[in-house]
Each structure stands twice: as C-alpha cells, then as structure tokens.
Amino acid sequence: MVLILAISLWRISRHRAVLDFQAAARARNAELHLNILLQTQAEMQGRIQTMAELFGARQAELDKSFRDKPDSMTARIGQTVDAQTGSTHESLSKLQERLAVINSAQNNIQSLAGQVAGLQTILFNKQTRGVFDQGRVEAIITDILPPGAYAFQATLSNKTRSDCIVYMPYDAPSLIIDAKFPLEAWNAMRNAKTPQTRHEAENRLRKNMEIHIRDIAQKYLIAGETQDTAFLFVPSESIFAAMHEEFEMLVQKAGCFRVIVVSPSLLMLSIQVVQAILKDVRMREQERLIQSEVKKIIEDVSRLDDRARKLQNHFRQTEKDINDILVLTSKPARRGAKIEALEPGFIKESETVKQELRPVTRHPVEDE
C-alpha cells in the first residue's frame, strides 16, 4: 500500500512538474507573443500616424483644388455652353434653309402634279388633245420656217380646213400636215389588262387609223393644189416606234394611200429640208442682184487702181524734182568751200554756177 501510495505521489509530482513546465513555456510564449504584439502595435501606430499625415496633406490639396476648380469649371462650362449655343444656332439656321428648300421642292412637286393632271385631262379629252397636238406641230414649224412659208387652219379649195399647210417654192403644190392621231384607241390598248380587251383595243385602233387615213387622202390630196403625199403627225417617238413594230401593215397601208406617218423628230427633219430648199430659192432670186453688186465692186476696184497708178506717177515726179533740187543745193556749198580756200580759177567756176542756178522747169502734175 505504501508502495502504491509512493508511486501515486511520484506520478502526481511528475505530472505537476510537467504542468509547471508547460505553464512556464506557455508563459514564455505568451510573453514573446505579447512583445511581438507590442512591437506590431508600435509599428501600426507609426504607420497610422504617417497615413494620417499623408491623408491630412492630401485633404489640404483636395480642399485647395476644390476651392480653385469651381472658377475654372465655371469658365469651361460657360465656354462649352457658348460653343453649344453657337453650334445649335448654326444647325437651326441650316435646318431652316433645308426646310425652305424642301418646301420649295414640295411646292414644285405639287405644281408639277397639277400640270401632269392637266396634261392627263388634255390627253383624255379629244378636243383639247387635238389642240395640244396642234400646238406641238406649230412649235416645230414656227421654229424652223420663216413667216409666210406656212399657215395653220387654212381652208383649201374643197372647203376643208387643214391643221397645217406648208407653201413649197417655185409655185409647187403645198404640203399638208394633219395632227389628229387617234390617241384614245392607243391609250385603251396600252391600258388593257386582259388579252381580250387588248385585242379589242387593237382592232379599234386599226379601224380608227384606216378611217382617218382615208379621210386625209380624200380631203387633203388635191391635184395641182397640194402635194401627192400628206403627213400624219404622231405626238410621241415611242408611239411612232411601236406603230412600226406592232402595226407595220397599217403603216404600209397608209403609204399606199400616200399618207406618211411622221414623229416629231421626222417632221422636224422634213421641215429642215424644206427650209434648205427655201434658202436655195432665195439665193437664186438674189443671184442677179449679187452679180450686179459684184460688177460694181470690180469697177470700183479698177478706178481705184487707176488713181493709185496716177498717184504713184505723181510721187515719182516729185521724187525726181527733189533729187534735182538737192543736186543744185549741194553745188553752192562746194563753191563756197573753194572761195574760202581761194582756189585758182574762181571766176570761171562762178560763171558756171550762175549758169547752173537758172530756174528749174517743173513738169506739170497730172490731174486725176
């Protein structure tokens, strides 16, 4: 029992010693950690103080910058606002100009739309369309031919009235131009939406053209008064081309009736040919007058040549007289030089001078 008790006490004392050793180690570690913490705290306080100083300096700089910047910012904002105001004003001015141009263009478009509507009304109205085609023919004729070489709405000997008559030179028969193309049937054919309606419109166009061609041949082709051919004016180049492509037989039939289908450009070319013929006639009429004037010019040139030759002879005679005078005036100078030198034989030479200084006989000047 005593041994067990002694062992127990030894274990207890050993355990206490171990605990004391551990406690001392812990105390040393705690003291070491405390020292480290104190050192760290000191370092942290130094850093905090340094940071406080830095923050204080930065705060002072920020305060100064905030005190200085409002003035510069205000100036910059004012400049920016002025620039934006000027730019906005300029943009508004340009916008107003563009709006004015747009309004003008819109007014032009509306006016053009009204004109197109009026033109459409003209083209669909047979009577007004006839006036329109007549106006185109009149514009072509009056631009090329001189007044008196044509007439509009002239009445022929058979009491029929032609749209335009062109008087040919050399008392040749006049040329008749008709401006009543059946445009209604043509528009109906172009606006047809089904093959059947188009076929009906084509038949209608052929019928109207045949009737109109016969009327031209019967009314306007008068022997001895008009040419044996007449012009049927087509108001469009596209219609003229389509007529030759799609209705070639109809055009040939018109040729058989001595009716020529012409477009604006072809009519203009034909009238220019007539203009050239009229110019040639006028030149021939003025040929005698030109020859007479040329003859007078030749006579004037001949008289001018004769007078120039007479004037040339006058100049030649005057030149000869001047040369003789210069010869005579040079001799006294030589005689004077001899007198000054007291040359021998002065008396004989002076007598010779007297003979040479006799009056010179002038040649009479010829009159013109």
Instruction: Give the start-to-end residue ranges of the domains of the chain.
Output: 126-285, 291-356
* CA distance linking residue 228 with residue 217, whole number of Å: 9
pLDDT at res. 122 = 45
Nearest alpha-carbon partner for 257 in 284, 217, 295, 288: 217
* CA distance linking residue 165 with residue 220, whole number of Å: 10
pLDDT at 230 over 60: yes
Of the pLDDT bands very low, low, confident and very high (cuts 50, 70, 90), residue 126 is: very low
pLDDT at res. 48 = 80
pLDDT at res. 17 = 72
> Which is more confidently placed, 169 or 78?
169
pLDDT at res. 172 = 83
pLDDT at 363 over 80: no
pLDDT at res. 364 = 47
Q: Which two tokens stand for residue 53?
A: 């100083």
Q: Are 176 and 227 in contact, with CB atoms under 8 Å apart? A: yes
Q: Which two tokens stand for residue 120?
A: 């459409």
Of 18-32, 49-63, 144-158, 331-345, the one with minimum mean pLDDT is: 331-345
Where do the H-state alpha helices sit in the chain? Answer: 2-124, 126-144, 183-190, 195-220, 237-246, 248-256, 264-285, 287-341, 346-356
Is the dihedral angle over the CA atoms 202, 207, 212, 213 positive or is it negative? Answer: positive
pLDDT at res. 67 = 66
pLDDT at 79 over 80: no
Residue 153 DSSP SS3: strand
Q: Are 162 and 154 in contact, with CB atoms under 8 Å apart? A: yes
Domain at 126-285, CATH class: alpha beta
pLDDT at res. 74 = 64
Question: Torsion angle of alpha carbons 23, 25, 29, 35, nearest 10°?
Answer: 90
Q: Which two tokens stand for residue 42?
A: 């000191």
pLDDT at res. 367 = 42
In terms of DSSP bridges, do strands 259-262 and 226-233 run parallel, antiparallel, or are they unpaired? Answer: parallel
Bridge partners, 30 (sequence order): none
pLDDT at res. 115 = 60
Cβ neighbours of residue 236 closer than 8 Å, sequence gap 6 or more: 263, 264
pLDDT at res. 8 = 72
Q: In what order do the strands lie in the sheet with 174-178?
A: 150-155, 161-166, 174-178, 226-233, 259-262
**Per-residue model confidence as pLDDT tens digits over 258-316:** 988 888 888 888 888 888 887 777 777 777 777 788 888 888 888 888 888 888 888 88
* CA distance linking residue 148 with residue 146, whole number of Å: 6
Share of the chain above pLDDT 90, in %: 0
* CA distance linking residue 136 with residue 163, whole number of Å: 11
Helix axes 287-341, 264-285, angle to 10 degrees: 60
* CA distance linking residue 9 with residue 232, whole number of Å: 154
Is the pTM above the cut of 0.85?
no
pLDDT at res. 147 = 85
Residue 169 is given by DSSP the state S
Most confident of 71-75, 177-181, 335-339, 341-345: 177-181
Q: Which two tokens stand for residue 340?
A: 């000054």
Mean pLDDT computed over every residue of the chain: 76
**Per-residue model confidence as pLDDT tens digits over 314-355:** 888 888 888 888 777 777 777 777 777 755 554 555 555 455
How does DSSP assign 289-335, residue by residue?
Answer: HHHHHHHHHHHHHHHHHHHHHHHHHHHHHHHHHHHHHHHHHHHHHHH
Q: Which two tokens stand for residue 191?
A: 């606006």
pLDDT at res. 355 = 55
Of the pLDDT bands very low, low, confident and very high (cuts 50, 70, 90), residue 368 is: very low
Of the pLDDT bands very low, low, confident and very high (cuts 50, 70, 90), residue 124 is: very low
Most confident of 94-98, 228-232, 306-310: 228-232
